[in-house]
Amino acid sequence: MFAIIGIVVVFGAVIGGFLMEHGKMAVLVQPAELIILLGASIGTLLVANPIHVIKGVIAGLLGILRGSPFDKTRYLNTLKMMYQFLNKVRKEGLLSVEMDVEKPKESSIFKNYPEFLGDHHAMYFVCDTLRTAITGGVEPFDMDQMMELDMEVHHHEATQPISALTTVADALPGLGIVAAVLGVVITMGALGGPPEAIGEHVAAALVGTFLGILLCYGVTGPLTANMAKTADAHNEYLHVLRVLLLAFLKGAAPMIAIELGRRAIPAHVRPTFDEMEKTCKGGPVEPAS
């Protein structure tokens, strides 16, 4: 939502300032220039990236509209879920959760947390780690290395759509110049005609450069930065899971493991110890304000 508000503010400020200088909106309405820019940008994206990266760009842009899911409520739900799960392991042994990690969507614990099941990478991150622990013979240090490797691979994949969109943003000013040059070519063909017609052609050519720069620095660039922050937020979420899982595999009690995980949560969404304790011991998770 804030991304949409920001884009509206950008266009509102630019167009508002233009109108304050007594500019005519009709001059900025140049469909041909917009088609050149958008078509060339999409073509650039298609040429430079495989299909899975393009799908990632689309998913990332849609994710911006929904906002980051990693708020205090999400973290409290995760801590509560892991506390219940680790308590079961502590009381009944690792083998008691074998079916939970093999079929997490049928787990009596995991199925109560649809946001966790909907995050496929986080779900498999937890389940694959515990599946390896059930197999046995793997030291906690090696488990930590495995989790770190998994996080690195996922983060690299998450940054590919960001790099792709950054390339498009970098290309937009140049594509705006291309549109402007084409406008100049048309203007040269109109020489000798009425001055008003020549002026209209020149204005249309300059609009191409204007749109390229505006879309680069006012829209595509900020959207790319937002996607990067979302990717970082997901990596921070996995880091919390990694910390508490490793602590438990080293022999820490469930509540101690959960507390270590809580302290790894970013400060702006970190619940207090009292909030965590109340939630893990049966209290309701209140929505973040």
Q: Could you list the pLDDT tens digit for every one of the 289 residues in the chain?
A: 678 889 999 999 999 998 898 888 888 888 888 899 999 999 999 999 999 999 999 999 988 888 888 999 999 999 999 999 999 999 988 888 899 999 999 999 999 999 999 999 999 999 999 999 888 878 989 999 999 999 999 999 999 999 999 999 999 999 999 888 888 888 777 676 777 777 777 888 888 899 999 999 999 999 999 999 999 999 999 999 999 999 999 999 999 999 999 999 999 999 999 999 999 887 555 554 4
The structure tokens listed for 166 are 């950054």
What pLDDT is attached to residue 288? Answer: 45
d(CA 107, CA 120) in angstroms, rounded, equals 15
* Residue whose C-alpha is closest to residue 224's, from 153, 158, 178: 158
**How many Å apart are CA 271 and CA 265, to the nearest integer?**
8
- Helices and strands per DSSP (H, E), number in the chain: 13, 0
* C-beta separation of 154 from 198 below 8 A: no
pLDDT at 189: 74
Output the DSSP codes for 184-200.
HHHHHHTTTS-HHHHHH
**Burial class of residue 217, CB neighbours in 10 A (0-12, 13-18, 19+):** middle
pLDDT 10s digits, 1-51: 678 889 999 999 999 998 898 888 888 888 888 899 999 999 999 999 999
Q: So what's the pLDDT on residue 284?
A: 52
pLDDT at 289: 42
Residue 24 has a pLDDT of: 83
